[in-house]
């Protein structure tokens, strides 16, 4: 959306092709994570961008539309599309791929019980709960959780599932969710179980300090090894190494939130085949040479939050403009 907006502003006609019914991808599904003040999660920026694009006159949009074929070459591609209204072929000078990312499938970390225990949810589920239901609750019985544990690096920096990279976004989004929860439900205490904290943005240190100063937030440098579940009470116990005592500890929590990392969308392989794209060592799209006229933007080129995706998109828009100028 940002690339299309930037190009349209410089007089290039842009067409947005979206497979889903609505624009914005994952970024348009996040809740506001403000507490006493804005916590700079950029969710509202993504929402605003969708409205700008929808209401702006200069960008054509095709939703629920799939790419089915590609012909031609640099500067003169012919793209085949399919949607509910039929098939069409469109001539374009350049193509920008913004395939987006999926949250890691948390059920692959079987020891945490996602998909088996109702009160183990992902941060994505929590975002949806707060955005769509407007309140925090335990899925098992609807009560407000008194204790919430956030497990970091779920699906990232983890040899056992083959993802060694840091997903960049999950420390910041988890801490922002904790801040928002603590503000709205001061009686709810949170624990943040982590390996390292990945900074995000200019004022992150200040934000992190405010988390450290809150007595209702514990930052525990230890990743849990297992979640135990009582089928009678739906109670959860978490096993981890207590970093202060250096011994194994078990602690009950009402709700567990798995801070899942980012992976390339499952169905991106077909795009890679269509555009002859390569992957980088983390499994995301590697940028093709600029002279091909095919560009990659956003988190499908590697994990990025909304802010960094927008910055990346603006620089890609400049590259596309230079490419188009070079061919005219």
Contact 40, 201 (CB under 8 A): yes
Smaller CB distance to ligand SF4: residue 90 or 311? Answer: 311
Partnered with residue 97 across adjacent β-strands are: 296
Using the 8-state DSSP alphabet, how is residue 123 labeled? H
In whole angstroms, how close is the CB of 65 to ligand SF4 at the nearest point? 29
Per rule CB under 6 A, is residue 163 in the interface with ligand SF4?
no
In whole angstroms, how close is the CB of 47 to ligand SF4 at the nearest point? 8
In whole angstroms, how close is the CB of 289 to ligand SF4 at the nearest point? 30
Which parts of the chain fold into alpha helices (H)? Answer: 2-9, 43-55, 123-128, 170-184, 204-213, 268-275, 306-327
Structure token pair of residue 175: 């801490």
Q: Helices 306-327 and 43-55 sit at what angle, rounded to 10 degrees?
A: 40
- Chain positions 168 to 197 lying near ligand SF4, rule: CB under 6 A, are 168-171, 195-196
**Total number of residues binding ligand SF4 (CB under 6 A)?**
25
Per rule CB under 6 A, is residue 122 in the interface with ligand SF4?
no
Per rule CB under 6 A, is residue 34 in the interface with ligand SF4?
yes
Smaller CB distance to ligand SF4: residue 16 or 43? Answer: 43
Per rule CB under 6 A, is residue 152 in the interface with ligand SF4?
yes
Per rule CB under 6 A, is residue 309 in the interface with ligand SF4?
no
Partnered with residue 120 across adjacent β-strands are: 256
Among 2, 65, 119, 167, binds ligand SF4 (CB under 6 A): 167
Rounded to whole angstroms, the Cα distance separating 286 from 26 reads 21
In whole angstroms, how close is the CB of 253 to ligand SF4 at the nearest point? 18
Q: CA dist 246 to 56, 59, 186, 197, 221, Å?
A: 58, 58, 30, 20, 11
Contact footprint for ligand SF4 (CB under 6 A): 32-34, 38-44, 152-153, 156-157, 166-171, 195-196, 198, 259, 261
């Amino acid at each position: 959306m940002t690339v299309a907006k930037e190009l349209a502003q410089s007089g290039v006609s842009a067409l947005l092709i979206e497979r889903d019914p609505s624009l914005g991808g994952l970024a348009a599904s996040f809740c506001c994570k403000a507490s006493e003040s804005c916590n700079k999660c950029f969710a509202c920026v993504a929402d605003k961008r969708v409205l700008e694009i929808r209401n702006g006159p200069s960008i054509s949009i095709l939703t629920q539309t799939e790419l089915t074929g590609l012909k031609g070459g640099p500067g003169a591609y012919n793209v085949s599309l399919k949607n509910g209204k039929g098939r069409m072929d469109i001539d374009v000078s350049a193509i920008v791929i913004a395939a987006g990312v999926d949250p890691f499938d948390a059920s692959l970390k079987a020891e945490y019980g996602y998909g088996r225990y109702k009160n183990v949810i992902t941060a994505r589920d929590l975002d949806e709960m707060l955005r769509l239901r407007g309140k925090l609750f335990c899925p098992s019985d609807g009560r407000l959780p008194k204790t919430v544990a956030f497990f970091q690096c779920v699906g990232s920096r983890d040899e056992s599932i083959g993802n060694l990279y840091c997903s960049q976004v999950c420390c910041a989004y988890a801490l922002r969710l904790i801040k928002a929860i603590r503000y709205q439900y001061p009686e709810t205490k949170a624990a943040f179980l982590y390996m390292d904290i990945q900074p995000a943005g200019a004022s992150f240190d200040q934000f992190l300090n405010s988390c450290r100063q809150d007595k209702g937030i514990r930052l525990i440098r230890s990743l849990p090894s297992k979640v135990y579940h009582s089928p009678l009470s739906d109670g959860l116990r978490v096993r981890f190494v207590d970093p202060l005592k250096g011994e194994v500890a078990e602690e009950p929590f009402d709700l567990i939130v798995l801070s899942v990392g980012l992976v390339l969308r499952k169905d991106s392989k077909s795009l890679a085949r269509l555009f002859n794209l390569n992957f980088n060592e983390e499994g995301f799209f590697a940028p093709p040479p600029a002279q091909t006229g095919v560009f990659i933007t956003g988190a499908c080129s590697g994990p990025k939050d909304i802010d960094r995706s927008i910055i990346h998109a603006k620089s890609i828009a400049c590259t596309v403009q230079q490419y188009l100028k070079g061919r005219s």
